[in-house]
Amino acid sequence: MANWNLTDQSALFKTKFGKLSENAYNSANVLLGTVKKTYDLVGDEMKVAVPTYFAGGVGSGSLPTANPANAVKATITAEKVYAVTEYDRESIKAASSDEGSFVNGLKWNVQKTVEAYNRNASRILFGNADGALGTTTAADFTDVTGTTFGVGDTATAVITSATWVEGHWEEGDYVNVGTAADVCEVIAVDPATRTITFEKISGTTDFTTGSAGTSKVIYMQNSKDNDPYGLMKVCDATSGSLYGVTVARRWKATQIAAAGAGISEDLLNELVIKIQEKCGKTINKIMCSYTQYRKILNFLEDKKIYSVDPRAADLKGKVSFKGVSYISDAGEIGIFPDRMCPGDRVYGVNTDFIEVKHRPDFGWFDDDGTVFLRKASSDAYEARYGGYYQNYIIPTFQGVIDGLAE
């Protein structure tokens, strides 16, 4: 019977491959794999006390006036982040009598769905909480297939060098352009010229006319201003607030503007020492783009390989990350590249003060007793992965060097 078969396959899906999904989320990259993850974000928001200065009156000669302890409260609210995969019902039925092929095909879909989620989570962790992938140059989109950019047509656009991060772009992604609700699919990426080719999936806005001289921000689908906080959001803040706390001397990342200079040991020393001077803690990782990593290798040729274990205890001994060590006055600091890091940046991070705070039951959605959800408008089933979380990055313990020569 159809209902019995669906339940049977769903149980196999969860039991056989649940561990794979968890491991992929925890260990796919250095930063996401080594920060703390909790699953207790309940209620509409969470308040966290943040001491920002010393307490206690001090003085000599006579009894000083007491200065009572005080702390501000950071407010943490969850954002919705998902990955979705779809299974054609006929394909499930065709494979249901052959367990080997069904399991292998399902395993592949599980892996790819979680990989897609993980890639997006990494983009978010390095991002500005705005969902932006990049900004087009001042020219219009260039229509490839017609005089207007309509559904089914293709068009190209060039991303500015200042906003180009190759890791943001993958063929098959669905994106939005500016504030328009139109959906476009990325069908080709040319890193050499920073040119993206799009196919219009839905909508009526013609991005090839009527807006010459204006730039367009391209967003991951539905993500405009909906991402959790990332390193760029936290480390670039010079005013306003972060997590509801006013950005000030004790609630602000260390910021070094390279102004076009090349990365050097002197700049790394400045970053590490300034953070240590501010908060008394030393960073435990240096994260950078592959461009800056290559430049760092040029002057750290004689350094040892440095291994970092993942945060999850069940992954100890199974997964590790290797990179070049930077020798600071406080000891070794691993240097690791990440494809989501902008090309002109180097981050100094202390992962002891970065936490991914999830709402409970994060992972595959099975609230209806099955991972497969029947789609109302088609002969297919849908599986959803993800949930609700916020990256809590305490700015005082982090730092950035930006504007580096590429």
pLDDT computed for residue 213 by the predictor: 61
CA distance from start to end of the chain: 61
Fold for 132-220, please state it: Elongation Factor Tu (Ef-tu); domain 3 (2.40.30)
pLDDT per residue as tens digits for the range 130-143 = 999 999 998 888 88
Per-residue pLDDT tens over the stretch 147-158 = 788 899 999 999
Which residue is associated with the tokens 């140059």? 137
Q: What is the pLDDT of residue 209?
A: 73
Q: Is the pLDDT of residue 194 over 90?
A: yes
Provide the mean pLDDT of the chain. Answer: 82
Same fold, 1-120+227-406 and 132-220: no
Dump pLDDT digits (tens) for 257-276: 999 999 998 999 999 999 99
- CA proximity to 268, closest of 340, 323, 326: 326
DSSP 8-state assignment for residue 159: B
DSSP string, 310-329: -SSGGGTTT--EEEEEEEET
CATH of domain 1-120+227-406: 3.90.1690
pLDDT over threshold 50, residue 90: yes
Higher pLDDT, 154 or 86: 154
**pLDDT at residue 44 is higher than 70:** yes
pLDDT the model gives residue 87 = 74
CA–chain centroid gap for 146, Å, is: 36
Please tell me which residue, 146 or 323, carries the higher pLDDT value: 146
Distance, CA of 400 to CA of 235 (rounded, Å): 6
Most confident of 146-150, 156-160, 359-363: 156-160
The residue with tokens 């068009």 is: 155
Residue with the bigger pLDDT between 68 and 97: it is 68
Q: Three-class SS of residue 284?
A: coil
Backbone φ and ψ for 274, nearest 5 degrees, come out as: -65, -40
Sketch the domain layout of the chain as residue ranges. Answer: 1-120+227-406, 132-220
Whole-number pLDDT of residue 262: 95
- Residue 304 scores a pLDDT above 70: no
pLDDT in tens, 161-182: 999 999 999 999 999 999 999 9
What tokens were used for 69?
A: 């302890």
Q: What tokens appear for 62 in the block?
A: 């006579």
Which residue reads 């959001």 in tokens? 233
Give the phi and the psi of residue 380 in degrees, each rounded to 5: -155, 165
pLDDT at residue 6 greater than cutoff 50: no
Per-residue pLDDT, 264? 93
